[in-house]
Amino acid sequence: LPSALVDVQVVGVWDEKRLAEQWRGSTLPGWPPRAETAEPLRDPGAEIWSSVSLRVRRDIVGPNAREHVANCGPSPGDVLAERYQCEGLIGQGHFTEAFLANDLQSGSLVCLKKHHQLPVETLADLMVVGRRLREVDPEGHVFPKLIDAFYDLVGYTVEGLIEGRNCLAMAASFPGFFTDSQHLHLLAQGCLRGLSLLEL
Cβ–Cβ < 8 Å for 156, 150:
yes
User: What mean pLDDT is predicted for residues 189-199?
Assistant: 68
User: What mean pLDDT is predicted for residues 43-63?
Assistant: 83
| Contacts with 120 (C-beta within 8 Å, 6 or more apart), sequence order | 52
**Is pLDDT above 80 for 197?**
no
Does residue 160 come out as left (phi exceeding 0), alpha (psi in the -120 to 50 range) or beta? beta
Higher-pLDDT residue of 100 and 70 is 100
CA distance 111 to 159: 5
Q: Give all strands (DSSP E) within the chain, no chain letters.
A: 53-54, 79-80, 84-92, 96-103, 109-115, 146-152, 154-160
Q: Is 147 helix (H, G, I), strand (E, B) or coil?
A: strand
Q: What is the 3-state secondary structure (H, E, C) of 80-131?
A: ECCCEEEEEEEEECCCEEEEEEEECCCCCEEEEEEECCCCHHHHHHHHHHHH
The CB density around residue 35, as the number of other CB atoms within 10 Å, is 5
Q: Output the average pLDDT for the chain.
A: 84
User: How far lies 105's CA from each of 51, 81, 85, 102, 109, in Å?
Assistant: 18, 11, 10, 9, 11
**Is pLDDT above 70 for 35?**
no
69-85 pLDDT tens trace: 878 889 999 999 999 99
User: What mean pLDDT is predicted for residues 44-54?
Assistant: 80
* 40-44, 135-139, 144-148, 188-192: range with lowest mean pLDDT: 40-44
| DSSP state, residue 178 | G
122-175 pLDDT tens trace: 999 999 989 988 888 888 887 889 999 999 999 999 999 887 777 777 788 888
**Is pLDDT above 60 for 200?**
no
Cβ–Cβ < 8 Å for 123, 155:
yes
pLDDT-above-90 percentage for the chain: 34
Cβ–Cβ < 8 Å for 123, 106:
no
Cβ–Cβ < 8 Å for 157, 85:
no
pLDDT of residue 104: 98
**Is pLDDT above 70 for 196?**
no
CATH for the 51-163 domain, from 3.40.366.10, 3.40.190.10, 3.90.120.10, 3.30.200.20: 3.30.200.20
Per-residue pLDDT band for 28 (boundaries 50, 70, 90) equals low
User: What mean pLDDT is predicted for residues 44-50?
Assistant: 73
